[in-house]
Structure formats: C-alpha cells, structure tokens
Amino acid sequence: MQTADIRGRWLDFFADRGHTVVPSASLVSDDPTLLFTVAGMVPFVPYLTGLVPAPYPRATSVQKCIRTNDIEEVGKTPRHGTFFQMNGNFSFGDYFKEQAIGYAWELLTTPESGGGYGFAEKDLWVTVYQDDDEAIRYWRALGLPEERIQRLGMDTNYWSTGQPGPAGPCSEIFFDRGPAYGVDGGPATDDDRYVEIWNLVFMQYLRGEGTSKHDFKILGDLPKKNIDTGMGLERVAFLKQGVENMYEIDQVRPVLDLAAGLSGRGYGADHEDDVRMRIVADHVRSSLMLMSDGVMPSNEGRGYILRRLLRRSVRAMRLLGVDDATFPVLFPASRDAMSPAYPDVATEFDRISQAAYAEEETFLRTLASGSTVLDLAVAKTRSEKKAELPGDTAFLLHDTYGFPIEITLEMAEEAGLSVNREAFDALMAKQRAMAKADAKAKKTHLADLSVYSAFRAAGETVFTGYDELQTESSILGLIVDGESVASAVAGQVAEVILAETALYAESGGQEADAGLIVGPGYELDVLDVQKPVKGLISHKVTVRTGEVGVGDPATSIVDADWRRGARQAHSGTHILHAALRQVLGPNAHQSGSYNKAGFFRLDFSWNQGLSQATRSEIEEISNNAIRDNLEVVTRELPLAEAKALGAMALFGEKYGERVRVVDIGGPWSRELCAGTHVSTSAEIGMVNLVSESSVGSANRRVEALVGLDAFNDLAAERAIVSQITANLKTPREQLPERINDLVQSLKAAEKKIAAFEARALGDRVPSLVASAERIGDVRVVTANLGTVNSADDVRALVTQTRERLGSDAAVVALAGVAGDKPVVVVATNPAAREYGVRAGVLAKAMAGVLGGGGGGKDDLAQGGGTDVAAIDAALQTVRTAAQR
C-alpha cells in the first residue's frame, strides 16, 4: 500500500464520518514557543485548550511535522525521522473516548478492499493509562483479548502541556512485527518488535500546578472533553509495504537508492554505510519540505536547523566516499516522490533547488578548508597525548568556517577524540551576549497566552484601519504584568484589548502603527500592537494621563504621518518585488520583508550580487510604475481562487480560507497581503534603492527608502556632491575622472613615501650590525626602534640585519610601537638554531612580557602586547636566553 493511498484512506474515512478535512499547516509553526510544527495537534492547540473557539466540532488532517531532538538517532532505528507526517482526527467537545477508540479499531482492522488498512487483529496490542478502566472497558467491548491490553504509567500514557490546563490519559496502539524482531511481552518491553502506530489522547481533566511531569493535582473535569489522536503515516507505510524501516518506503527509498548508486556501495552490505544512506535520504526530504515552506539556510533559528540538515547530508555522502556535489541528483528524486502529496514541492522547485545547490557548493568549500584545520588540531591533540579537542578550536571551526558544532563532534568522534564542549559553549555564550548588546532589543513583550482566552472567547478584534484612522470602541480588557486587571493608572504599562481598532498590528513584515488610545479622563500612548493569538489584537500602551478601566469608551487614533509612510513603504515593497522579477525572472522570489514608515527591505532568492546596471534598471522600472500612477485594488477572495488568479504568497506566512489580494496595475503586481497600502502608485513618491547585499548562500537583500525619506536621502547626496565640486573646482559631470586622477596621484605619492621609508630603514642596518654584542657563542642584536609605521617595517629591518651578520650564530630582536601597541620581531640564522636559539620561542617570551602573545617559526617570529613601557624588559629576555 503506497503512502499516498494510506493518506487518502485516512482522510476519506474521517470525512465520511463528519470530520472537516483541514489541510496541513506550514512546518513553520504559529506557536511562538516552537520553531517548527512538531506534532499533528500543534495547529489545533488553540482549539483544544479553549484559547480560541473551534470553527468545527470535529476535524481530520495529515500534518507535516519536523522534529530534530532525536537527530542523532536518524538512520539507526526503524522509526526516527526528522520529517514525518501525522494523520490526526480531533474532536472539540463533540465525541469522546468510546467513539475515538471505535474509529481507530475500525480503520485499522477493516480489510483493504473495504477502505481500511487491513491489519490483522491478532497483531495489534494496546496500552492504556494504569487507572483508565473506562478505556479498557471499551477495548474489551471490541473483542481485544485481555492479554493484549497493557496498563502503563504516566511516563508513557498520560498527556499534559507541562503547565496548568488540559490533561488526560492516553491509549496507544502497537503492531507486533513478530519474534524475529525482539522478545515477547508486548509494548511494555519497550522493544523494536512492537511499533507504535496510533496514539489516542483523551483530554478530560484540568490539571493544576506541579513540580514535574508526574507530580501535579487534578482539579476536576474539563467543561468540554476533547480528542486528539495521531497515526504515524511513515510507520504504517513501512509496515504495509513490507520493508524494514521508514527509510525504505516509497517516499524516501528513491533518494536512498541514489545515494547508494553514487557511492558505489550496496545498501545492506555494511551497517555504518546503511546509516549514512538513511541519513541522506531523511535529511534531503526534510530539507526539501522545509524549503518548500519558505525556510532558507542561515546561521540562526529555523535556518540553522535547515543548514545543519543539509550539511549533515553532505557530510554523510563524503563518508560514503563521494566528494562531489550530489544535491542536483538527490533533490529531484525527493521532489518526484513528495510532489504527488504536496504539489508546491514541484511548483517551487526552481527556487528550492537553487538555494540547496548553492548551500552544498558553499559547504563543500567549507569542508575542504575547515577539515584541514580540524585535521591539524586532531594531530596536535594526539601528539600531546590528549583525548579532547580544545573548545576554542571547535569555536574557530564554527565561527570562521561555518562548521555546526554537531559536525565537529562527529568528526572528532571518528578520530577517537572528544571536544571540550564546556569551553565551546562558554565562547558561544560570550558571542551571543555581545550580539544581544549590539542588537536593538525587541520592543514587545506579551503576557502568557492563557490570559487572552477569555477575551478571545468574546470574539475576534475587528480591524477598521483599512478604511479609517480613528475608531470608537470600548475597553474589553486590561493586562498588567501578565495578569488581567480592572484598571490602570498614569505611568503604568499595560496591554489593552479593544472590540474594534484602527491601529494595525505588526504582521506580514509591516511594523505596528504609532498612535493613541483616548477616552473620558485618560490618554494612552501606543507602544506596540501585536496579535498574541489568532483573531485577537493587543495594544501595548503607557498610561500618559488619568485612569483607564475595563468597559470604558475608547477611541483608537492612528498617527496619520506614520501610516502614510507605512503605506508607501509596503506598496513600495510590492513594486520593487515585481520589478525584481521582471529583470531577474520568476526565480527571484521574495523570501522575507520588513517595512516601516519611509523604509523597507526585501529579501529574495538569488545566488549572486546585482551589478550596478541591474540595480539601476530595477530602480528605474519601480519609479516608472510609480510615475504611471497605477491603481491599487484590494479585495477578499477564497484562497484557491486567489492562487488561481496568480496571486503570489510570501513563504512562511499563514493564510486562512479567505485572503486579501493586493493588485498594483492589475496583474503586474498581484500578491496576498494583509498590510496597508496606498490607493495609487504615485502616492509612493519615489523608490530610492540604497543597498544590496548577501544574507545567505542563495539569498540577497535590498533596502530602499520611499517618499520624503527617499527625497531627503537624495538631497543629502546632492549636497555632498555640491561640496566636492566646490572644493575640487570641477563640474559635477567631471567628478569621477577628477577623483580617479587624485586617487592615482595619491597612490604614486604613497609609493614614493614607502620607498623613501624603506631606504631610511635600510640606512639603520649598519648601526644595528655594529651594535651586535657577543653573548656566549651567539651574536645578539636588540634595539627599541621607537615609533614605526607597522610590524612589516620591523620585520624588514630584522631580516636585513640578520643577513649582514654573516654565518656566525646570530639572533636579531627588534621592537617598536605601531598604533600605540608594542610589536616585536625575532630572526635567527642557521648557526643560532643549531645552538638551540629558536625565534618562535623568543617571540612568545617577549610578547608575554608585553602582556600579549606571539610565536612563529624557528627562523622568524613575531609578537605583540599592550605594555609599551615593558619593551626594554622584553628585549632583555633575548639576551638572557642567549647566555644559556
């Protein structure tokens, strides 16, 4: 039974039983505490917990999921995969335990000819929570023998969020693969013989505070009991297809076979090779699915996880003996296997493959350079008879060469070494702390989501800001320090929930509106506007004057200048995106954006920098569209109809069944967007493209100003040009040539000065040679040169002096001050080295006296420090060493 058939039977079965079929949500989770959708129930959590009223009484889905917490187990067990699909059926206060158990048993045991999965009843076991006699009664009623029902404890058969809220027992269904796969005894043996294929969660209790997963009080029954069940699609697929594990099913096996073919190693011949092939098959599929949902490789967050998956794939292929790029072969195979279930994988493959191939090429170069560094570090560690690589080496590989720490750990383990993870983590923490200190702090901090449930239950917040800048409403709720309160007074910071608001909440890349909320006897400055839960808008405010209370009349007032600038910026983003695609082609797809009053940035998929001519062309097309005063039309349509019209969606954004379509010039620019926009393109004023840069191996970023901000920037440039023309007494059109002439003249002058300084340095050589003193069997030259241009000057003088000292054992150590910092250079000749004098050792010792570090080769070495006053003492260390 093919995976697509298993999926289709699931949806048909539950649709026939009154369940609303809900399409898979994105792998990028709405939950701010999660990077990814990690379980089939995640998109339904607001409904299951009662935070948001459920739009249907029962639902079913096949949800895409990503989990990487068990990434080290991928390929080693039959069932661990980073990407998987969870078939789920859900009830929100509708049916409960008996019906859920009945549905599961019916679908599993109905013959394939009758639309079921055709599992033999004798091969199925169930586990229940130890005290759930009710569930056991229902299982017995279906004819399941007592000996195949096992009671287990909270560790495995009880569910809660880990916080006060819904909780309840679970019942899991297992398939017995037979004695060839392990010992007898049922799922309680925790053996690979028994594969869990279905989990039924019965949310029936309200739990209180607790100290652990097992230690909490049950406060009573939930007012509405919910059902959350999940069946692992890949697990059922490998059982129904008669293969050994999930890596061999029809959606994954094609990539595994190609990995085997490219490596020339047969699958099944060697355990370690098999694991590597499974890693490649799993990670390529996971990466493909993540990228289809808009995730791009980067060094943080979701992008870092994706980059790790891609790089682990490359690394596994190298361990299989393949050093060349393989993604151009592997990714199309995964696309062909997954696109029947997820058509976006095929339609977006040009964008996906461009980014994936670029990432592989980059990492292959990284591996070549970083592996050399790691090999040297391994050799040094072994020569020192140590078993642990230093943490600073791991950090260097991460920070300079882009090695994820996990890959360094793997490569070190292959060499029989561990890594000083504590030191590495300390360096990473220091780097993050510095980054946070430099970065602008996030301006919003919302309360714990549970506080919003009562407000959301009253209905959705109505946003009126598309049509008006001022809306009369009332205060539905106030939150201070995470707690719902009755009032707030002057000086307090609070969150305000209104029934209606004209203030735009940050979303779709657009910053929140600036403005006020006013009412009888109070005035509130709006600091931020957010959507903490779907359908609810929260305003973070400072109470400027008076006292505000729940139930008070309230008028939201948008700062008109701010909104005008924000509308110009957001519409400007759409204009520039259309211009980019007109010049570069459809593969230049927007991958992210940010806009605020007067400014926007746009990230797009592209793997090379834009020439100045290309930038100018894009800017010209954008401003021609503004000049043509194109009409901007917004309308609400069903999602399918909007996509059929060619409306572009921003990857990573979430869209409901009805969407807002923004047309600029009809189909010239047609995108799904909930932001605020101008009425005609001329209102944007102008677009001034101020920068273009890289934000990843296959992503570029453009930044632009619009409206008055764009004009002011150009006016500032004009003032600078006017000042330069006046100073150089040169017409504007001749400035490039005039400046080039000045630059060439400056370079020629600098060359002459350098030659003069070199001669001046050379003039000092005779006196330095004459100053040589014999200490034991070695001639020693030491001198403090005072202020020098650079360490290169000191190095040149040291080597020239050494050459003039003849064949007798000689060492030259000179010091100077470059840029307020002391620098030392030491040189030795062959005879001195035979005598045991080493330049690297001396430079390191001198630098230590100066409060710094140094070293180098035996014949020439350099060091530096911070203590200029210690130069003479540092030079004395050379004379002392020569005496020995």
Binding residues for Zn(2+) are 570, 574, 673, 677
**Per-residue DSSP letters for 674-742?**
-S---SBGGGG--EEEEEEEESSTTEEEEEEEEHHHHHHHHHHHHHHHHHHHHHHT--GGGHHHHHHHH
Q: Where are the alpha helices (DSSP H) in 38-146?
A: 45-48, 97-109, 133-141
- Say how many residues make up the chain: 884
CB 273 within 8 A of CB 582: no
CB 203 within 8 A of CB 225: yes
Q: Where are the alpha helices (DSSP H) in 339-485?
A: 344-347, 349-383, 391-401, 405-414, 421-438, 453-457
Q: Which of 93, 109, 125 lies closest to 13 in space, CA to CA?
A: 109
C-alpha span between 15 and 60 (Å, rounded): 7
Angle in degrees, 0-180, between the axes of helices 560-584 and 707-728, rounded to the nearest 10: 70
Return the SS3 of 884. coil
Instruction: Give CB contacts under 8 A, 24+ apart, made by 253-258.
Output: 253/281, 254/333, 254/334, 254/336, 254/337, 255/280, 255/281, 255/284, 255/285, 255/330, 255/333, 255/334, 255/337, 256/280, 256/281, 258/329, 258/330, 258/333
Return the SS3 of 659. strand
Binding site: what residues are annotated?
A: 570, 574, 673, 677
CA-based R_g, the chain, Å: 34
C-alpha span between 453 and 204 (Å, rounded): 18
What are the b/e assignments for 503-516, b being 16+ CB within 10 Å?
Answer: bbbbbbbbbbbbbb
CB 410 within 8 A of CB 314: no
User: Which strand (E) or helix (H) includes residue 576?
Assistant: helix 560-584
Angle in degrees, 0-180, between the axes of helices 3-15 and 233-240, rounded to the nearest 10: 120
Task: Give the helix, strand, coil percentages of the chain, each rounded to 5.
Answer: 45, 25, 30
- E-state strands within 43-164: 58-66, 83-92, 124-129, 149-152, 158-160
Q: What angle do CA 587, 673, 571 make, to 5 degrees?
A: 80
Amino acid letter, residue 489: V
CB 782 within 8 A of CB 816: no
